[in-house]
Amino acid sequence: MPDRRALPAHGRTRQRHRKENYWIRTDTGESGNAVDFFVKIRGMSFIETMRLLLG
């Protein structure tokens, strides 16, 4: 069953069943993978994101 819980820090961002580890921000229509989330929503650089995900 798909995970439909909202992420607390970004109330309307939800993970959908289309792809595993894929998010959709329902209020703006933005979507993507984990890297996109940290870069677009959290405002991190690509290098910071890679360090976080691989660290």
pLDDT digits (tens, 9 = 90+) for 13-40: 555 455 677 888 888 888 899 999 999 9
Q: What is the mean pLDDT of residues 1-10?
A: 48
**pLDDT recorded at residue 21:** 72
Residue 48 scores a pLDDT above 80: yes
Residue 5 scores a pLDDT above 50: no
Domain ranges, ordered by start, for the chain: 8-54
Record the tokens describing residue 24, joined without a space.
Answer: 């959709």
